[in-house]
A and B are shown apart, each in its own frame.
Chain A
Amino acid sequence: METEFTPLTSLLGGALIGLSAIVLMVTHGRIAGISGIVSRILPPSVDKGGFTQGAVFLAGLLLAGPVWYMVAGSAPVQDVSNNFVLLTIAGILVGFGSVLGNGCTSGHGVCGISRKSTRSIGATLIFMATALVTVFILRHVLGA
């Protein structure tokens, strides 16, 4: 199924994400990487120093949807898969991989690249590559 190419709103939304990363860096001195922020407040080892900051940041993130809904009058378009087995496997891989690799699209892809970190540039190229291959196999080989 096709989706509409939205260069302007995507660029603008990206700029807001960038602004958020700047605010977090200049105030807390931390990378706005979602996987890092979430994993720091999860067991088995909760990071006491980053707990409040992380939890509050996530509360703000969770607030965005309801506020969007109230202002826009409707939820944004979402096409989430109905294949719960696929979603479970995908979720485990995303969670495990992002913590093992110290970052996801936000931590490596936005903040890391902006810091010109070799690790992050490499990680971004790797996850883009495996994601492209996965989608290719899923859609064009298996025909899902």
Chain B
Amino acid sequence: MRILITLVSGFLFGVGLILSGMSNPLKVSNFLDVFGNWDPSLAFVMGGAIIVTMPGFWLIQRRKSPFFHDFFHLPTQTEFDMPLVAGASIFGIGWGLAGFCPGPALTSLPFANTGTLIFVLAMLSGMMSAKFVTQRMCQT
């Protein structure tokens, strides 16, 4: 039952990305191209998601724990540090270059486009390098 609910949750996320048009990198790039072929759709995707998530999270956080675990796995950091600023800046450059971010790229994998496959492989190696680097930073 737990596995099924988790599977459906991932499935909804993927369908949402495809329905919203975000699986098309050109549509994302056009959102970022305010001075060119601007397509504001992505703002509606984020808006639609936040309208649902914000009151939902507020209601959920009144609970002591989630259904399947003893506690909520929420981020504990609150300060605005260098890794956050650098990471977000680097992420934005890559996002702008390809029009792909992790969710849409993975959702697009089954459509077997060579470009998508290359992007995902590069993305996974970038993630592993970042994990390696941050662990080194924590150890020193």
Chain A positions near chain B (C-beta within 8 angstroms): 1-7, 9-32, 34-35, 38-39, 42-45, 50, 52-53, 56-69, 75-82, 84, 86-102, 104-106, 108-115, 117-119, 122-124, 126-136, 138-140
Contact = CB atoms under 8 A, between A and B. Distances in A.
Name the 3 nearest CB pairs between A and B, nearest first.
Answer: A101-B87, A64-B14, A60-B10
Given A78-B113, A130-B92, A14 B72 contact: no
Interface in B6-21: 6-21
Contact of B89 (A22, A76, A97): A97
Interface of B: 2-3, 5-27, 29-30, 32-37, 39-42, 44-54, 56-57, 60, 63, 65-69, 71-75, 77-80, 83-103, 105-111, 113-116, 118-135
Nearest to A83: B115
A95 B48 contact: no
Given A28-B66, A110-B46, A122-B84, A50 B73 contact: yes
Given A64-B11, A95-B127, A100-B134, A11 B94 contact: no
B36 A139 contact: yes
B83 to A, nearest CB: 5
A42 B13 contact: no
